[in-house]
Each structure stands twice: as structure tokens, then as C-alpha cells.
Amino acid sequence: MERAGLYIHIPFCVRRCAYCDFVSYAGREDAMEAYVAALLSEMESVFWRFPALAVPTVYVGGGTPSSLPPGLIARVLGRARELFAIGPDAEITVEANPETASARKLTEYARAGVNRLSLGLQSASSRILEAIGRLHNAEDFERAASFAREAGIENIGADVMYGLPGQTTGDHARALAAAVDAGAKHVSAYALTLAEGTPLDAAVREGAVSLPNEDEQYAMYLAGDDFLEAHGLLRYEVSNYAAPGRECRHNLSYWRNEPYVGLGAAAHSCIDTGDGAIRTENVPGLDEYIARAARGESPIMRSIRIGREESMFETMMLGLRLVDGVDTDAFCARYGAKAGEVFAGPVERLARSEMIRMEKGRLKPTGKGLDFHTLVALEFLGK
């Protein structure tokens, strides 16, 4: 493997959100230094396996990476630069929550080479933010975006959710306007997924909280799509919008089913071995991850080989999330087979129902296919 995106998981939060089912830990400041040491150990083991690895994108996600104290993010990125070929044009993203994105930290990130910041806005309504367990308000978001620009990070993204408790179309519109007004060049606008076992799920089941119905959520989505396009942020993936040239390159590599290396607790990797791909998953436990590093053991708890058929399916499913769709020549070069023949049934049915179309050598989803991507996936599953 000569080239792969690098994902670094920081599983710490000041407080877990009511809807969150990600691997994250609140109140574990005591483990932050040891965790970073474990990350660096895992990073070095990757270097010994792939000493000539070129890394076009780095994504530091979580959890809340900005919950780490000053110095630790820079330490991690500095070591990554020492071990891997990270060029001057690499995209380097750090996720942050507004309340923890101080001017000092953002200046440090910029000096460490961070050139893209992903800020979790979610909503501009204090009422809604409180209902989902967020600690910031709209003013905190605006302040964090301003700190980022002052530090020299101009490429700012915002995460915004719809389908939240008590949310109206107007509430969602105000969140998108706050993102645009703060200079966001990228917006991830996605519907709430009610994860089983979360506090919000329990509150909904008990009737203490009500969520917008499907029609109301769809109205939010449609209004948001129109608003973002009118402000120059164009849809390039099912839930993602960007100014031209500001698409998230790291996430594009996932949707194109390209190799990536994940570091940290619960991180996943998809590694190209030359004769197929291997997907690995690290242990999710914070203390176990640290302990394994201290013993010189691998953090990987599961490893599976991805067969050719599964890889072809994933390439189609992920690629059809993108407005640009799947390059059929590239598909043929990669697998030695034509996508339209391997998936003749689904392609024909979806084209007939105007969910996908062939255009200049690419199988592309229509607007309808993007809106109802789950139906597209079901067709391919049935094959």
C-alpha cells in the first residue's frame, strides 16, 4: 500500500450528547496523556508496516478532539509528519465543538498544519441545543469560526442536524444561516438518527420528548437544500454541501472506497494489501487501548478480508452517494469487470425508475436517487 488517508480518533468529550452512540468518554481527563502516547505507539507500528506511506488527507475526529488540552493535537500531528509523507497540499482536518475551540488551541492547530476545521453547530437554537445535551450556543459557534479565521484556517465546515426535538423548518433554516454567515465553506446537513440506548432514545420512548415527523423532516431537508444552493454551497453527497473546491477530500476517499488507516480506540482501517483489502477494527475500550500499547500489543481486535464481490458492491453503494457517481472505466480497471454487467439488474431497474443515469462514462444518482439512497442500496442488495 503506497497511499492512504489517515484517520485519528480522539474519544474524549466534556459531556456526551443525548443522541450520541459513538465511542467517546466524558470525564476522563486523567487518561488523555496516556492515550496520546498509545496513539503514537500505534502510529509507529503502522510506519513499520508501511514505511513509504503517502498520506494525502488527515482527519482528527472523535469524540471531541478540541477537548484535549493545548499541545496534544500538535504532538500527534507532528509525529505523523515525521513518519509519513504528508505533502504541503495535504488536507488536514480537526473536528471541534464551539465551546472548546479557544483562540489558543486554533492557533496551535494552524501552526501544526491544520488547514480545515469541522465545527459541530447542530442548531442555532439554545432551546434545542439544551434538549440534545450540547454545551454551546450560536454565539460560541460564531466566536470559534472567527478564531479559526484569525488563526489562518479559512476552510471551515459546519455540522447541522434536522429532525431534532421540537425543531421547526424555521429553526433549521436559522442554523444553516448561522453556518453561512460565519463563513462556512462546507455544511454537513443530516437527519437525526435515534440510536437505541441513548438518553434521547429513552426520552422519546417514554413520551417526554417528541420529534418532527417524516413529512416535517423532509420539508426541513428541502428548504435546507434550496437555501444552501442559493448561497453557493452545492450538494456533492447525500448529506454534504460545499463551495466549489471545498469538498472534504478525506470523506471523498471513503465514498470512493479507497484505502485508509485508522488510529485510536474503535478506529477502523481498510488496507490495500496488493491482493485484496483487509478491514480491521480496534478495541473500543479506552483503558484497554492504552493498556495494550503499554504492553506492546496490537490494538486490533478484528480483521476480515474483503472479497472481490463485496468490494464491488461497496464501491457502487458508496459511489452512488456522490453526485458524481461511479466512474465505470475506473471500476473496470480495478475489478476487471463492467459495473453495468456485474449489476445489470439493479442498474436497469434503477435507471427505469429514474434513480440513476449514465452520463459521460459515469453512473450517477439523480436527485431522486440521492434523496432516497436507501432504496438504491436495497436494489443492489437484491442484485
Could you tell me the residue ranges of all domains in the chain?
5-253, 309-382
What is the per-residue pLDDT for 88? 93
Question: Does domain 309-382 bear CATH number 3.40.640.10?
Answer: no
| Helix, strand or coil, per DSSP, at residue 244 | coil
pLDDT classification of 323: cutoffs 50, 70, 90: very high
Query: Which stretches does DSSP call E strand in 91-137?
Result: 91-96, 116-122
pLDDT classification of 383: cutoffs 50, 70, 90: low
| Helix, strand, coil percent content, the chain, rounded in steps of 5 | 45, 20, 35
The predicted model scores a pTM of: 0.96
CB atoms within 10 A of CB 182: 21
CATH number of 5-253, picked from 3.30.420.40, 3.40.50.1100, 3.80.30.20, 3.40.50.300 = 3.80.30.20
Query: Which stretches does DSSP call E strand in 88-136?
Result: 91-96, 116-122
Check whether 93 has a pLDDT greater than 70: yes
What letter does residue 322 receive in the DSSP assignment?
Answer: B
One fold for 5-253 and 309-382: no
**Mean pLDDT throughout 84-93?**
96
Question: Partners of 282 in the beta sheet?
Answer: 300
Given the C-alpha cell 496488493, which residue does it identify?
Answer: 274
d(CA 267, CA 230): 37
Distance of CA 285 to the CA centre of its chain: 21
Check whether 318 has a pLDDT greater than 70: yes
| Helix, strand or coil, per DSSP, at residue 208 | coil
Distance of CA 317 to the CA centre of its chain: 17
pLDDT classification of 275: cutoffs 50, 70, 90: low
Pairing, β 240-242 against β 234-237: antiparallel
Residue type (1 letter), 208? A
- What is the average pLDDT score of the chain? 95
What is the per-residue pLDDT for 276? 73
d(CA 296, CA 304): 22
